[in-house]
Amino acid sequence: SSLTVPLILHDEILGTFNVESTRIGAFNENDLQFLELFSREVAVALNTLELLAAEKLTTTASSIEWILGEVALPLDEILNEATWVLEDSMGHDPKLAERLRQVLVHTRGVKNLIQQAGEKLNPEAPSAIQPSRFDRPKLRRKRILVADADEMIRRSAHEILGKIGCIVETAHDGAEAALMARSHEYDAILVDIRLPDMSGYQCFRRLREIDSELPVILTTGFGYDAGHSIVKARQDGLKSVLFKPFRVEQLLTELEKNLLESSPRAGQA
């Protein structure tokens, strides 16, 4: 004979609990009542285990996200400085130039190593290491450069775009942005209209001189554009303007639009 009861929690059936015996008529009403009470405890225990597993994944994901956020800007500093030195050494010291290229490769690899470490901690759910509210497969692995003097904006760009799989690098001013654009391939560049060393329009023009097909998006706070950077840039082909602080949906939509309108780019140099 056998006795089967459902495992119920909050009016939801999680499964069944079955007891069997070789004797005929081995179970009575008291056994049924006991098994129903016992099954409730089993359902609670199973739910607790699921919550603990979810908490583990969430904690790991949060830790990896925090680490990535903390190392993002220092890694950008290394990339910027190494790129400056690399450009100065070109044609003078080939061995030094090659070593600097390796520094750039290894520096960019740090983030991937951190993400891989997180996946090893939770191999059963690697997708939890990069939680995202938005599914934008077209933006994954796209390399985006953000030129802005405001550290909070640079950090915000890393947090927002990094979560959906973009490779984000930053520059403090227009000269750095131009240097990075000359030395590396980017799929799109975001440029603040108020850079310390030049206007947004001047930076826009310099970037377009480096690569006429490069998608450039100007960004601005809610203030007066004294240099009329946006108006001038629109006359020269600017397609998008973003307001800060960034609205996630708008930022992702504008990036997608600009990438679709541009020709395919390597984006992985």
Model confidence pLDDT, tens digit, residues 237-251: 999 999 998 999 999
pLDDT for the residue 236: 92
Q: Tokens in use for 189?
A: 């560049």
Q: What is the percent of the chain with per-residue pLDDT over 70, rounded to a whole number?
A: 90
Whether 7 contacts 18, CB under 8 Å? no
pLDDT for the residue 125: 45
* pLDDT, averaged across the chain: 85
Domains of the chain, start order? 2-55 (no CATH), 139-269 (3.40.50.2300)
The label of the residue with tokens 């690899």 reads: 109
pLDDT for the residue 55: 74
pLDDT for the residue 267: 42
pLDDT for the residue 131: 45
Return the SS3 of 9: strand
Model confidence pLDDT, tens digit, residues 179-194: 999 999 999 999 999 9
Model confidence pLDDT, tens digit, residues 132-168: 456 788 998 899 999 999 999 999 999 899 888 899 9
Relative to beta strand 216-220, strand 188-192 is: parallel
pTM of the model: 0.72
Angle at 72 between CA 101 and CA 214, to 5 degrees: 65
Whether 143 contacts 265, CB under 8 Å? no
